[in-house]
Amino acid sequence: MTLWFVLALMTAAAVLTVLWPLVRSERNRRAGSDLAVYRDQLEEIARDRAAGRIGEGEAEAAQVEVSRRLIAAADAEAAVPSAVPAPAAARRRRAIAVAALVMVPLGASALYLTFGSPSLPGQPLAARVAAETQSIQSIIARVEEHLAREPNDGRGWEVIAPVYLRLGRYDDAIRASRNAIAFSGETAERQAALGEALVTAANGAVTPDARAAFERAVALDAKNIRARYFLAMLADQEGRPADAAASLRAMLAGAPADAPWTEFIRSELERVAGDAEPPGGSDFNPRVMVERLAARLKQDGSDVEGWLRLVNSYTVLGERDKARAAVSDAKRAHASDPEKLRRIDELAKRLGLEG
């Protein structure tokens, strides 16, 4: 209550400071304004003449001009009456001042109490962001506590899996997706979610485990878009861009008119269709395309994405020795870039190519 009383006094003081001229009479506000200025000018001219800063002729001319203005101002003040009789004008000004003094604080308080949050303390932006982040972490912690007590809650694992994925907790996302399948049953969506987690953890490479998850998803639901897309990317990853393009075209051909993912698929189709289909079409040996990629990277090893595709492609083809050699070559090519080295090491770890 003391705080509110102090704030009310501060508000009243501020309003009175602004409205004080309204409660003064018109005569008081005008008195000493123009007349005082002209008198000061006459005194200044006299001082300048005495000090020798201006000549006698200039001083006399200036005094005549200022005196003329002084007389005119005095005559105007005496001749012009107030538009409103003084008592009435004073009463009106005081009424306005009192109304403002009362209504402004009351109006502001009413608006704040209606639309504001009087009991909520103010916080800077950084504090609010930190509070929201802490809130998310606390929610995750509560879910994890629940799952620790109820580890067979497949729905809980399914809910938290994509949260882990967005937070970059890839191992946790994979574990949660596997538990969702184990405790809630196998569906196309759950298998596709597991596959996506595996791909994200492998820096975008479709690993053998991810491939198995996507193929299982398509077996359960041939229209599952997520699984079909990643299988198309696997074809491109293995050096079969024509097969990848055909898969993407099939997805677009069967897409609903308002499907939100069609623009993304079109952009991917443009990318993979840029490579000409090799002789023999889809029967062409993918190893030839992989070796072409390897040859290109030996000439120009700056493409870390190319190295990641090459390592994964060798792994898919069962040529693990070549995959390990590609990891070593990729590390040498990017020895001065810690971030790229980290991505290469992470992929090697995911694929079991360490050592």
For 107-132, the pLDDT digits (tens) are: 555 555 555 555 555 556 555 555 55
Which residues are CB-neighbours of 184 under 8 A, at least 6 positions away?
A: 154, 155, 157, 158, 190
- Domain assignment of residue 86, yes or no: yes
Nearest 5°: CA angle at 201, between 197 and 205? 95
Question: What is the model's pLDDT at position 224?
Answer: 94
Q: Which of 112, 143, 178 is at the close of a domain? A: 112
The SS3 of residue 204 is coil
Determine the Cα–Cα distance for residues 228 and 72; give it in Å rounded to an integer. Answer: 95
262 close to 238: Cβ distance less than 8 angstroms: no
Range of the domain at 39: 2-112
- Domain assignment of residue 235, yes or no: no
Provide the number of structural domains found in the chain: 2
Determine the Cα–Cα distance for residues 341 and 348; give it in Å rounded to an integer. Answer: 11
Q: CA nearest 154: which of 175, 124, 125?
A: 175
Q: CA nearest 199: which of 230, 240, 169?
A: 230
Which residues are CB-neighbours of 14 under 8 A, at least 6 positions away?
A: none
- Domain assignment of residue 162, yes or no: no
Tell me whether residue 312 is exposed, middle or buried, using C-beta atoms within 10 angstroms of its C-beta: 0 to 12, 13 to 18, 19 or more: buried
Question: What is the model's pLDDT at position 223?
Answer: 92
Question: What is the model's pLDDT at position 298?
Answer: 84
218 close to 227: Cβ distance less than 8 angstroms: yes
Question: What is the model's pLDDT at position 53?
Answer: 66
pTM of the full structure:
0.47
- Domain assignment of residue 30, yes or no: yes
Question: What is the model's pLDDT at position 119?
Answer: 57
- Domain assignment of residue 167, yes or no: no
pLDDT in tens, 145-199: 989 999 999 988 998 998 888 888 889 999 999 999 999 999 999 999 999 999 9
Q: CA nearest 298: which of 262, 278, 328?
A: 328
Q: Which of 112, 138, 159 is at the close of a domain? A: 112
- Domain assignment of residue 16, yes or no: yes
**CATH code of the domain covering residue 309:** 1.25.40
- Domain assignment of residue 251, yes or no: no
Q: List, for the chain, all residue ranges whose pLDDT scores fall below the cut of 50.
A: 1-3, 25-32, 80-86, 88-89, 276, 278-284
- Domain assignment of residue 41, yes or no: yes
Determine the Cα–Cα distance for residues 67 and 78; give it in Å rounded to an integer. Answer: 17
Q: Which of 77, 112, 147 is at the close of a domain? A: 112
